[in-house]
Amino acid sequence: MDAQKKLEILSGASQYDLSCACGSNQSEHRKRGNDGTWLYPVSLPSGGTSVILKTLVSNVCVNDCKYCPYRSTTDVPRCTLSPDEAAKIFLDYHKRKGVFGLFLSSGVVGSPDNTMQHLNDTAKILRYKNKFKGYIHLKIIPGASDAAIDEALSLATTVSLNIEIPGDGFCRKLSSKKDFSRDIIRPMQRISNLTARGQKYAGVHKTTQFIVGAADENDGDIVKYLFGIYDKLHFNRVYFSAYQRGTGAPEIPGERNPNRNPDQIFMREHRLYQVDFLLRKYRFLHNDIFFGHDGNLMLEKDPKLVWAERNPHFYPVNLNKADKFTLLRVPGIGPTGAAGIIKQRIQTPLKRLDDLPFKGRRRRLVQQYIAFN
C-alpha cells in the first residue's frame, strides 16, 4: 500500500477525534478535501484562521474500547504511516495547498510509548530536519510515560489527551485495558503542571474530548468533569463528539438506547457545547447549570435561558450600568452584543430598544430581561 492510499484510510479514520476543531460556529467546522483528507480550521497567532491536515499515523490498536470502530476486535483494513511518510505527506500539502499545520493522532500500536515514538519522531523530522516552525498538534496516548509526554510538549504547539468518559466506572464498562486514573487522569495532570504559567511549556495549548452517549452517562456526569478540567487542570478547550451508532460494540448503551434518535443525540452534543461556552466565556459555575430529573440538560431549551428562568430575582439588568459578565447573564446577549452595548453607552446612554445593537427575535428575547435605568 503506497503512502497516499494509507492517507486516504487513516485520514478518514481520524474523523472520530474532534480535539482540534468542531462546530461551535460555522467557521470552526471541519471540511473533507477532494482527496478524502480532513482539513480543520485553527486560529492563527496573528489573528484569523487557516486549516490543518488531520490524520492518524496508524489505525492499528491493541485497545478494546467498545465505542471505537477501530478497536482491536474489529475486522477493518489496517495500515501505518512511518514518521518519514507522514512528514513527507504533510510537507507536500504544506507546499501545494497552503495547509498551515498538522494534527497527528493514532491508534495504540503495540504500546502507548511505541505509539508516542511514532508521533514524536514525525514531529522531530519536521522541526529539526525540515526546520518547520508552524502548527503541530500531537495526540498524547493514554498510558504514555512521563518522558514521552515531556518530549511531545517540547515539539508541539498543541497537545490533546481524550478523557472520553466521565469517570472510572464508565471507563471499566467500555474498556478492559484502560485504567482511568493511571492512563488518563495522571497524564492530564502532568500536562497541566508542565504547561502552567511560568513553567517550561506554558505556551503549549491543551485540549480533550468526551464521547457523548456511548455509555449510560448523563450530562451531569460530563459537566462535573468539564468544570474540573477548566477549574483544576486549566485546559484550554474541551470538545464533545456525539457517539455514532453502528460504530461500536452492539452491547454498549449507545447502541441499544431506544430513547434517543440521531437528532436528539446531536442536540445533546449541542447543549453540552453551550454549557462549555457558559463555563469558559461567561463565568458560569458548575452549580449554575440545571439538569432534569434524569440528570440531563433540557434538549428543548438553551441552558442559559434555563438559568434565567430559575433566577428571576437577577433581572431586570440595567443596560447602562451592568458590567460585561452581568450583561452576559441576559438571554440573547453574547460577547459581541455585550461589547457593543458597553461601547455604545460610553458615547450616549441607552434609552430604548432601538438603541440595542441587534434586532428581531433576539431583541424580543432580550426585552424581557432588561431595563434602561
What is the set of domains in the chain, with CATH numbers?
3-291 (3.20.20.70), 311-371 (1.10.150)
User: Is the per-residue pLDDT at 117 higher than 80?
Assistant: yes
Task: Please give the pLDDT value at position 245.
Answer: 81
Alpha-carbon separation of residue 265 from 179, 219, 259 (angstroms) = 27, 12, 10
Q: Which helix (H) or strand (E) holds 156?
A: none
Higher pLDDT, 28 or 325: 325
- Assign 22 a pLDDT band (cuts: 50, 70, 90): very low
Task: Please give the pLDDT value at position 23.
Answer: 45
100-104, 313-317, 320-324: which has the minimum mean pLDDT? 100-104
Tell me which residue has cell 438506547. 257
Computed over every residue of the chain, the mean pLDDT equals 88
Q: Please name the amino acid found at residue 82.
A: S
Task: Please give the pLDDT value at position 281.
Answer: 93
Q: Please name the amino acid found at residue 73.
A: T
Q: Report CA Rg, the chain.
A: 22
49-56 and 38-43 beta bridge pairing: antiparallel
Percent of the chain whose pLDDT exceeds 90: 67
Task: Please give the pLDDT value at position 358.
Answer: 83
31-32 and 38-43 beta bridge pairing: antiparallel
User: Is the per-residue pLDDT at 45 higher than 80?
Assistant: no
Tell me which residue has cell 505556551. 203
Percent of the chain whose pLDDT exceeds 70: 88
Higher pLDDT, 311 or 2: 311
CA distance 355 to 351: 7
Higher pLDDT, 9 or 69: 69
Got the DSSP string for 331-356?
TT--HHHHHHHHHHHHHS---SGGGS
User: Is the per-residue pLDDT at 111 higher than 80?
Assistant: yes
For residue 100, the SS3 value is coil
- Assign 338 a pLDDT band (cuts: 50, 70, 90): very high
Mean pLDDT of 177-185: 96
Alpha helices in 175-302 (DSSP H): 186-194, 219-231, 253-256, 262-281
Task: Please give the pLDDT value at position 33.
Answer: 53
CA distance 343 to 263: 39
- The model's pTM is 0.88
Higher pLDDT, 245 or 224: 224
- Assign 42 a pLDDT band (cuts: 50, 70, 90): low
Sheet architecture: strand order including 101-105: 31-32, 38-43, 49-56, 101-105, 135-139, 158-160, 205-212, 237-242
User: Is the per-residue pLDDT at 19 higher than 60?
Assistant: no
Task: Please give the pLDDT value at position 96.
Answer: 80
